Amino acid sequence: MKQVKKSNTNLLDCYVLEPDRYGDERGYFSPVFLKENLDELGFEGIVQISRSKSAKGVLRGLHYQYDPKCQAKIVEVIRGSALDVVVDLRSDSPTYCEWTSILLTPNNNKQLFVPRGFAHGFLSLEDDTIFQYFVDNDFAPSLEGGIPFNDPAIGIMWDMMFKEYDIVNPNLSEKDINRERLVKTKTLFKRNK
């Protein structure tokens, strides 16, 4: 029996996951992930589970890792709220350079499956937001890459998002401020290897 609902996004191979919840006035129980669901996604198994904590207005991303340590992720928010944003960087994908965003909160019980070859980032919408990542490959700092969150080649509508969530100036790391634009990077992932 499937216990995680999978819904398409506008990006090929990228899905919203909604684990079932069983509960009553005392609380609930929910299967966060199941092997059957991971196999269906082509997720090769969890190598690492990580968490980050962010204040409101922190923008992390847009990040990826190069092959052979490219990563797929299942991401969720376990406290607070965040707007998760991903970009398809697989040059042979029909959704290449397109993006999507999804609101992640503990209450909406949504996760996002981010395939290999995608850039990933999020905007924290509350103080003390805890973001959790289930990752299928090791962290490899020497293979880390990224593009600017506001790269014009992608055209993410950040200004609308900032306005909607009352964020005046996003808080970025020095590394994310100085990322090279997509046209200058060698970000060539492939969907079909």
Separation of alpha carbons 6 and 3, rounded Å: 10
Catalytic residue, chosen from 66, 96, 133, 165, is 133
Catalytic residue, chosen from 63, 66, 96, 165, is 63
The span from the first CA to the last CA of the chain, in angstroms, equals 32
DSSP-assigned beta bridge partners for residue 110: none
Separation of alpha carbons 81 and 129, rounded Å: 6
Q: Is 165 a catalytic residue?
A: no
Q: Is 66 a catalytic residue?
A: no
Joined together, the tokens standing for residue 68 give 């052979």
Separation of alpha carbons 123 and 129, rounded Å: 10
So which residues are the catalytic ones? 63, 133
